[in-house]
Amino acid sequence: MRIDSLQLFQFRNYKDVQIQFNPEIIVLHGTNGAGKTNILESIYVGTIGKSHRTNDTSDMLMFNAEEAGIVVKFEKKDTPQKVNIKLFRQGAKDIRLNDTKISQKELIGTLNTVIFCPEDLQLIKGTPSGRRRFLDMEISQTSATYYHQLMQYNRLLQQRNAVLKEYRGKNNIRGKQNIPLEEWDLQLADMASFIVKKRLESLKKINLLIDLMNRKLTGGLENLTIGYEQPYMDNGSLEYTKEGFYERIKAALPQDRHRLSTSVGPHRDDLRFFSDAMDLKKFGSQGQQRTAVLSLKLSELEFIKSEVGEYPVLLLDDVLSELDESRRVNLLQFIHKRIQTFITTTDIHDFKDLKSVQFISCEGGNVQYGQP
């Protein structure tokens, strides 16, 4: 998979720009605030229909503009494709694939990308929601059914929580009033089972890949595995059956009524990273944690390839400056001549000796080809 060109109209600081890309490594360089990340962001919007930086569409529009446009031309399995996205300050996005209008959920899996930005280095130390989002997006790019079920599950979850809030403090003569949750609970249990089974199935494959990557990066010295954890389960066992989820959701109702939120389900689950038996979040050094995240990103590339038949495009947003020299070298060696990669940087020193590199300078909403 490779991106041939990108056209931006009133997107962030780009009024009207068209950029042609070569098939291998593209280095976007310039000072901080020049608009390098905006180019990666626009490609990512072409992947899933929304930004990795903001939930507010209007943030992506040029100041005072009412709409913005992104056109990504790419090749998937040697077939030319075109994604055209219009963003509006008011109203829904307009997404077209090869000039045919599609929904956001239909877009996912069309243009496969993996993005790696400095915040990802906090994945192991960060919040459970960040780790869930990582896993969900990885699976969603290879399974439209998973993404659809996940969206439905989140909608149902919001509805159930709204009902819990609606019945807050309502009592009848015998105590707390019954809440009509049966229909929500059955549907939630069904979707929870599907989501967790798919996550566990995907994690099996990712674990094989991540351990291989980590051994490459550490010279065979350290292994790495990802564990799946459910805080509402005892003794480290896992719930993945529809019947089991339904019973647990029902049993947790008193607690849910008190907290006004649903305490059982995949929206509460978490991932843990282990080197041998050591929990990297609690005991891993910063170097070990960074190597683990890098292994995770490389395994993500391999996972998508194993599921869809070709490597995705890799987007590296100012992340090389956060890695030490040996990790930088390992990363560049891995992607070289295999994966089309977009890299943003303020310093092009690391890339001057690499072959097949396209340099693009970003400054004030304009781009120029070539080294400075």
Query: Measured on CA atoms in the order 29, 35, 39, 44, is the torsion positive or negative?
Result: positive
8 Å CB contact between 135 and 299: no
Query: Comparing C-alpha atoms, which of 91, 249, 77 is closest to residue 157?
Result: 249
Asked which of 288, 309, 330 is the last residue of a domain, the reply is 309
Asked if 139 and 81 count as a contact pair (C-beta separation under 8 A), the reply is no
Q: Please tell me whether residue 154 adopts helix, strand or coil conformation.
A: helix
Nearest to 39 by CA among 319, 360, 369: 360
Tokens of 173: 């003569």
| Mean pLDDT across 57-86 | 95
Look-up of token digits 């390839």? 305
Same domain membership, residue 212 and residue 148: yes
What CATH number has the domain bearing residue 172?
A: 1.20.1050.90
Q: What is the pLDDT of residue 175?
A: 47
Amino acid at 168: R
For the chain, what percentages of helix, strand and coil (3-state, to nearest 5) are there?
Answer: 45, 25, 30
Using pLDDT thresholds of 50, 70 and 90, give the confidence band for residue 83.
very high
Q: Are residues 205 and 284 in the same domain?
A: yes
- The token duo for 284 is 């891993």
Same domain, 153 and 173: yes
| pLDDT of 172 | 47
Residue 270 has pLDDT above 90, yes or no: yes
User: What is the overall mean pLDDT for the chain?
Assistant: 90
Quick: pLDDT tens for 105-120: 899 999 999 998 888 8
Claim to verify: residue 82 and residue 125 sit in the same structural domain? no
The answer on 346 and 244 residing in a single domain is no
Structural domain for 101, as ranges: 1-112+312-372
Give yes or no: residues 235 and 259 share one domain. Answer: yes
CATH number of the domain bearing residue 83: 3.40.50.300
Q: What is the pLDDT of residue 6?
A: 97
Residue 364 pLDDT? 86
The length of the chain, given as a count of residues:
372
Average pLDDT over residues 216-227: 86
Percent of the chain with pLDDT over 90: 66
Of 266, 291, 309, the residue that ends a domain is 309
Angstrom distance (rounded) from CA 246 to CA 100:
41
Q: From CA 77, how far away is CA 171, in angstroms rounded? A: 61
**Could you tell me if 232 and 93 lie in one domain?**
no
Tell whether 91 and 144 lie within a shared domain. Answer: no
Token pair for 216: 């490459």
| Helix/strand/coil for 269 | coil
Residues 200 and 239 in one domain: yes
pLDDT for residue 23: 80
Q: Are residues 158 and 242 in the same domain?
A: yes
Domain boundary among the residues 280, 309, 338 is at: 309
Number of H helices, E strands in the chain: 10, 17
> Could you give the number of structural domains in the chain?
2
321/293 same-domain check = no
Mean pLDDT score, 188-201? 97
pLDDT in tens, 138-180: 999 899 899 999 999 999 999 999 999 988 766 644 445 577 8
The answer on 77 and 222 residing in a single domain is: no
pLDDT tens sequence across 308-318: 999 999 999 98
What pLDDT is stored for residue 286 in this prediction? 87
**pLDDT value of residue 368:** 93
